[in-house]
Amino acid sequence: MADNVVFHFDVDGEDFSSAGGASVTVKKKLRQLGISQEYIRRVAIAMYEGEINMVIHANGGTADVIVSDEEIKIVLADTGPGIPDVSLAMQEGFSTARDNIRSLGFGAGMGLPNMKKYTDTMEIETELGRGTTITMTVKIA
């Protein structure tokens, strides 16, 4: 691949039922680029969890996916409330999601741990009241 391939999405924070649409699109695009199934699934799951988090906690945001010869980078940015204690948020089972979110099948405190599990690197930049940017990479070389 001579140049990086970039995909950009606006994630609608108002509509839970359509959340995950960007991840589904990325999955299809990566398949068209000939990326192997294993990498595609890891990217899709990590991005899907991130998208759901943005809808649940931050009223949406943006998702960018940059595909190079060496890696797939996913950047999820929101202007939500920020994460007060990142290390606590990274613990499996810890969640601040409301009960109505749990009734929809999410908010089990597995989102961030799953994102870390399926990617090679994950960085969280967050500021209370300003928002959160999560950058993840999956190495494909």
Partner 1 sequence: MKIRELEGLLSAEVLTSDQKLLDGIVYNACCSDMMSDVLAYVKDQGVLLTGLVNEQVIRTASMMDMVCIVFVRDKTPTAEMIRLAEDYDIVVMKTAYRAYEACGKLYTSGLIAREPQD
79 versus 94: smaller Cβ distance to partner 1 = 94
Host H or E run for residue 119: none
Q: Which residue, 12 or 79, has its beta carbon nearer to partner 1?
A: 12
In the complex, minimum distance from the CB of residue 45 to partner 1, in angstroms, rounded to a whole number = 5
DSSP string, 40-85: HHHHHHHHHHHHHHHHHHSSEEEEEEEE-SSEEEEEEEE-S---S-
Q: Is 18 in the site for partner 1 (CB under 8 A)?
A: yes
Is the Cβ–Cβ distance between 96 and 84 less than 8 Å? no
Q: Which residues in the 30-69 window bind partner 1 by CB under 8 A?
A: 37, 41, 44-45, 48-49, 52
Query: Residue 129, SS3?
Result: coil
108 binds partner 1 (CB under 8 A): yes
Q: Is 34 helix (H, G, I), strand (E, B) or coil?
A: coil
Among 1, 6, 24, 86, binds partner 1 (CB under 8 A): 24
Contact residues for partner 1, defined by CB under 8 A: 16-20, 23-24, 27, 37, 41, 44-45, 48-49, 52, 102, 104-111, 113-114, 117
